[in-house]
């Protein structure tokens, strides 16, 4: 189940709230074969996080399927950059990193228990079942202060509340649970895979976007800007804006990394593309290089207008854990442009 971006914490009867964890989303399955967990694109993650496999195998959970987030806890904060380092191809390096910067698994939903499908049941009931399972195996909730959350390896439940004042306190405390924002969920809602039925509220508006092309820097040395896109329901990648917030060395390194993708499909003929010269770009070089649309990054932006970013977006980070097709207009609550 997914979330769409909201401008403010929703209020009213039936809303409940959790911290938004800054990590890798994962679905955990435990059965007779042991523990397994996969990313949002069904990528097995066990080999990258052996310490979490060991933690789960050591618990007498019974068979279950749970939803959660892998995070990397540092003193008083979460480190997404170091978490990404854990996705290393070499087993020796994986083992070294597992010892040096171990991960923590935060569980927030229970989808199946002992073969019983809990997804049609309301969230409040699934939480009761999750809490009972956690109590049985000695798993505690994460504390409200990140300074009190020890480094991994660890297994925790997320805190949740129905009190909007508590959620707002979490959100306001960027040194605590609310440093990446708040998730708002309806207590009576079933679990709906692939549906953006939750609301995420962040300190800044961000979106996960696909890199469909780039423009060369004015001096010809490196990337001038990355051209960004979102998918519509028909699977067409539409241009929504650009980001150019890179240092000189980064521009060169990015262009080198993009070279194998040059000449790819880009935004395609049936979707909105960066286009050519216009009265707004007089005297500027608007040529661009198309890429295979396989890279995803996160950007921050001020607002959307007409299905695109009103101003240049700011690059936040690469998202190797996301699939391009998950980058859709509905994540930001916007309608795709009318096309064709």
Q: Report the predicted TM-score, pTM, of the whole model to 2 decimal places.
A: 0.77
pLDDT in tens, 12-32: 999 999 999 999 999 999 998
Of all residues in the chain, what percent carry a pLDDT higher than 70? 96
Question: What residue ranges define each of the domains in the chain, with the CATH number in brackets?
Answer: 18-159 (3.30.470.30), 206-332 (2.40.50.140)
Q: Is the pLDDT of residue 79 over 50?
A: yes
pLDDT of residue 173: 84
pLDDT of residue 295: 97
Q: Is the pLDDT of residue 339 over 70?
A: no
pLDDT in tens, 216-238: 998 888 999 999 999 999 999 99
pLDDT of residue 340: 52
Of all residues in the chain, what percent carry a pLDDT higher than 90? 73
The arithmetic mean of pLDDT across residues 292-301, rounded, is 95
Across 8-17, 239-248, 265-274, 321-330, the highest mean pLDDT is recorded for 8-17
Please report, for residues 113, 120, 162, 261, 291, the alpha-carbon distance to residue 187 in angstroms, rounded to integers and kept in the order given: 19, 13, 9, 44, 43
Confidence of residue 245 (pLDDT cuts 50, 70, 90): confident
Which candidate in 4, 20, 96, 202 is catalytic?
Answer: 20
pLDDT of residue 224: 93
Q: Is the pLDDT of residue 146 over 90?
A: no
- The verdict on whether 218 is a catalytic residue reads no
Confidence of residue 36 (pLDDT cuts 50, 70, 90): very high
Confidence of residue 278 (pLDDT cuts 50, 70, 90): very low
Pairwise pLDDT comparison (173 vs 158), residue with the higher score: 158
Q: Is the pLDDT of residue 163 over 70?
A: yes
């Amino acid at each position: 189940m997914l979330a769409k971006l909201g401008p403010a914490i929703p209020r009213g009867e039936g809303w409940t709230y959790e911290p938004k964890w800054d990590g890798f989303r994962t679905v955990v399955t435990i059965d007779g074969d042991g523990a397994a967990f996969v990313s949002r694109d069904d990528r097995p993650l066990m080999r990258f996080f052996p310490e979490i496999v060991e933690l789960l195998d050591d618990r007498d959970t019974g068979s279950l399927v749970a939803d959660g987030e892998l995070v990397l806890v540092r003193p008083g904060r979460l480190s997404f950059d170091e978490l990404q380092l854990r996705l290393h191809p070499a087993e020796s390096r994986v083992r070294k990193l597992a010892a040096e910067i171990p991960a923590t698994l935060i569980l927030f939903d229970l989808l199946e228990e002992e073969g019983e499908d809990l997804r049609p049941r309301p969230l409040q009931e699934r939480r009761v079942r999750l809490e009972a399972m956690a109590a049985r195996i000695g798993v505690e909730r994460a504390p409200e202060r990140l300074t009190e959350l020890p480094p991994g390896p660890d297994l925790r439940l997320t805190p949740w509340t129905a009190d909007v004042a508590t959620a707002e306190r979490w959100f306001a405390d960027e040194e605590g649970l609310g440093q990446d924002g708040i998730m708002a969920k309806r207590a009576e809602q079933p679990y709906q895979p692939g549906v953006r039925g939750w609301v995420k509220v962040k300190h800044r508006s961000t979106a996960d976007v696909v890199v469909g092309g780039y423009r060369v820097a004015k001096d010809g040395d490196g990337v001038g800007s990355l051209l960004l896109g979102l998918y519509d329901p028909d699977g067409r990648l539409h241009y929504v804006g650009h980001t150019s917030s890179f240092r000189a060395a980064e521009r060169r390194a990015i262009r080198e990394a993009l070279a194998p993708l040059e000449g790819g499909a880009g935004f395609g003929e049936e979707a909105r593309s960066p286009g050519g010269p216009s009265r707004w770009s007089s005297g500027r070089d608007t040529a661009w290089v198309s890429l295979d649309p396989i890279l995803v990054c996160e950007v921050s932006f001020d607002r959307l207008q007409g299905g695109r970013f009103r101003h240049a977006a700011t690059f936040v980070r690469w998202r190797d854990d996301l699939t391009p097709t998950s980058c859709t207009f509905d994540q930001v609550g916007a309608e795709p442009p009318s096309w064709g």
